[in-house]
Amino acid sequence: MSTDISTADTFAAYVHEGRSSVAVLVIHGFTSTPGSVFLWAGAFEAAGYDVSVPLLEGHASRWEDMIGVPYTAWTGALEREYDRLARTHEHVVVAGISMGGALALHLGAVRRPDALLLVNPAVDGMPWFSFLSGVLAPFVKSTPAIGEDIARPGRKENSYDVTPTAAATQLRRLQKAVRRQLPGVVAPITLFHSVQDHVVPPASLRSLFAGLTPATRTRLRRIELHESYHVATLDWDAELINEASVRAVAESTGVAAGSGTAA
């Protein structure tokens, strides 16, 4: 693992731990790579916060490596990483994009993070064929790719060039589990939503709002992204996401950017 995110391997996990009392756990999406959230994580690091960007099992290698990986391997690994960070930090914030957003919500239900930062969270209806994936998987090993939905030229998340059908089944199971857990999420949420998203359908936000308690919905801060597609952390609105996210971390933890300790 690198200690300098600007030169880090975008296909590998990344951890930076200094002396901050705040750690931000940043989670990439389905069939994607840690590098898809490095600009986001780098903003937290530049603000003086510690960061951890795990590599989810089966990702950033060969698409075949996702076959046979249960979604509980992802939730379990993230719970362990959250617990590790919580042992050494007063505050832990969880951030995630797409499936990473669903996984962040899972952590919001089973742990007590100071805040959740979500970019186009995949809580429902993604990928579109997932309701058939269980039937298709024994016969159709892969389906068309769902990655690289980025408006900005020259930016790539380096996702798989196909979608493993069996993995889509696991994503569907994860989404179903997370929807059941939503009433248990009490952390303040900052939600970034791309107006043009070709991967996660509107049903995902409807399910998110329907599942959260009225108290959590009332505190939710929604920021619409008008210049970016699904992978907004690499798109035209990345700077907006970074700045608003750093502010949200400071507000939720009481630890100002650059200070490392509570004000």
Catalytic residue among 89, 91, 193, 230: 230
Query: Is 230 annotated in the active site?
Result: yes
Q: What residues have CB less than 8 Å from 194, skipping those under 6 apart?
A: 120, 224, 225, 228, 229, 230, 232, 235, 237
Per-residue b or e along 244-261, where b marks 16 or more CB atoms closer than 10 Å to that residue's CB: bbbebbbebbebbbebbe
The closest alpha carbon to 145, from 123, 167, 124, belongs to 167
Peptide bond into 34 cis (omega under 30): no
Catalytic residue among 98, 130, 194, 207: 98
194 token code pair: 């791309």
Query: Is 98 annotated in the active site?
Result: yes
Catalytic residue among 114, 197, 235, 237: 197
How close are the terminal C-alpha atoms of the chain, in Å?
Answer: 31
108 token code pair: 């919001």
What letter does residue 63 receive in the DSSP assignment? Answer: G
The total number of residues shown for the chain amounts to: 263
Q: Which residues are catalytic?
A: 98, 197, 230
